[in-house]
């Protein structure tokens, strides 16, 4: 019996390492993602992804305001997505703003969480508002 156990452990230890698709789970603290890496499992909370995305969005000048939600989807490739509802500043292109938001969010996620980490960003422009410039006082 002990020989079988040692044989099973050796078999597990000598298997080639491979990247497993991201999987999600839920605990009392919220939803999270498990990413298998060469050094073990990394647990990434959905809330962490949301905070990184919000911080990155502050650099997109085309967006006047943005509401961001990270949600779970039924996909083995990308088990989460970012739903972004934005108010666009007048004079900017909606497709370019969407592309900029997707790029800047995923660049920030890759920088913080590593290569191979991608979350699709669904952008909905709900309104276009004029850009308000501060008035100068004349004395």
Residues 6+ apart with CB under 8 A from 101: 57, 60, 63, 66, 84, 86, 121, 123
Residues 6+ apart with CB under 8 A from 96: 62
Note the pLDDT of residue 101: 93
Note the pLDDT of residue 5: 65
Q: Which CATH number fits domain 46-129: 3.30.300.30, 3.40.50.300, 3.10.129.10, 3.40.50.970?
A: 3.30.300.30
Domain boundaries, the chain: 46-129
94-97-101 Cα angle (round to 5):
140
Note the pLDDT of residue 67: 93
Note the pLDDT of residue 44: 82
Average pLDDT of adjacent 10-residue blocks, the chain of 139 residues: 67 48 48 74 85 92 90 80 92 91 93 83 92 63
* Cα 127 from chain centre: 24
Note the pLDDT of residue 106: 93
The sheet carrying 23-27 orders its strands as 23-27, 30-37, 40-45
């Amino acid at each position: 019996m002990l020989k079988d156990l040692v044989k099973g452990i050796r078999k597990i230890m000598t298997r080639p390492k491979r990247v497993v698709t991201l999987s999600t789970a839920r605990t009392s603290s919220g939803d999270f993602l498990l990413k298998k890496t060469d050094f073990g499992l990394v647990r990434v909370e959905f809330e962490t992804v949301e905070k990184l995305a919000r911080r990155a969005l502050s650099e997109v000048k085309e967006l006047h305001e943005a509401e961001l939600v990270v949600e779970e989807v039924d996909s083995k490739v990308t088990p989460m997505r970012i739903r972004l509802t934005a108010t666009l500043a007048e004079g900017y292109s909606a497709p370019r703003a969407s592309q900029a938001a997707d790029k800047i969010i995923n660049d920030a996620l890759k920088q913080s969480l590593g290569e191979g980490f991608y979350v699709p960003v669904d952008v909905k422009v709900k309104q276009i508002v004029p850009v308000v410039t501060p008035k100068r006082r004349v004395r």
